[in-house]
Amino acid sequence: MSSLTTISSTSKESLEAEELVDTRLSLVIGAGSQPPPAPVAAGHVTRQHAKRARAVHGGSDVDDGDDGGDAAGRARKKLRLTAEQAALLEKSFRSHNVLSHGEKQDLAGQLGLKPRQVEVWFQNRRARTKLKQTELDCELLRRWCERLSDDNARLRRELAETHAVLLVGGAQGSRLTRCPSCNRLAGGRRAA
């Protein structure tokens, strides 16, 4: 599908400094089946107990450590990452978009966040990247479709012309000639 890639220079809205769109995620239109996780270094991260949160449900979900200033059980407060935190996370994401356990811990330590928060940020970031890629893919397909439609219309016109020439030639009793270079038929005064 080189034609797809050739028209790919759509500069959508300058995705924050051009968004690392991962082509591996592209064209996963079915959605039904999940695309294989990005083959990242460290592949599948070591396991750990990190998410008892889920198992506990409701209780002290995300973490006991507050830090986000989250009141336990109350309306959750919206955490807003600082510019520095976001920048460091972004930088880390660009080097590889999946974290190993150690990297998560390190990042969390550096940022003063909980590992779970770092994990969530990466999850959301991957989702955003994928969404952007899907939008780009849609745009590419739309253009490709347009081009195919144009080609189709042009070919139909040529076919109709050829038929017309054949008809005219037959009616006039004249002989059709075939252009030696393009091999197209021409008759009467419609010289090739």
Phi and psi (nearest 5°) for 185? -85, 145
Q: CB of 107: closest distance to DNA in angstroms?
A: 12
Q: CB of 95: closest distance to DNA in angstroms?
A: 14
Is there binding between residue 34 and DNA (CB under 7 A)?
Answer: yes
Ramachandran assignment for 188, one of left (phi > 0), alpha (psi -120 to 50 degrees), beta (any other): left
DSSP 100-148: -HHHHHHHHHHHT--HHHHHHHHHHHHHHHHHHHHHHHHHHHHHHHHHH
Residues 53-112 that bind DNA (CB under 7 A): 53-54, 57-58, 61-62, 68, 75-81, 86, 98-99, 101
Is there binding between residue 117 and DNA (CB under 7 A)?
Answer: yes
Among 1, 17, 31, 191, binds DNA (CB under 7 A): 31
Among 9, 39, 41, 47, binds DNA (CB under 7 A): 47
Cα separation, 150 vs 121, whole angstroms: 44
Which residues neighbour 171 within 8 Å (Cβ) at sequence distance 6 or greater? Answer: none
Is there binding between residue 20 and DNA (CB under 7 A)?
Answer: no
DSSP 11-22: --S--GGG----
* Interacting span for DNA (CB under 7 A) from 118-126, 153-161, 163-171, 172-180: 118-126
- Site residues (vs DNA, CB under 7 A): 28, 31, 33-38, 44-54, 57-58, 61-62, 68, 75-81, 86, 98-99, 101, 116-117, 119-128, 130
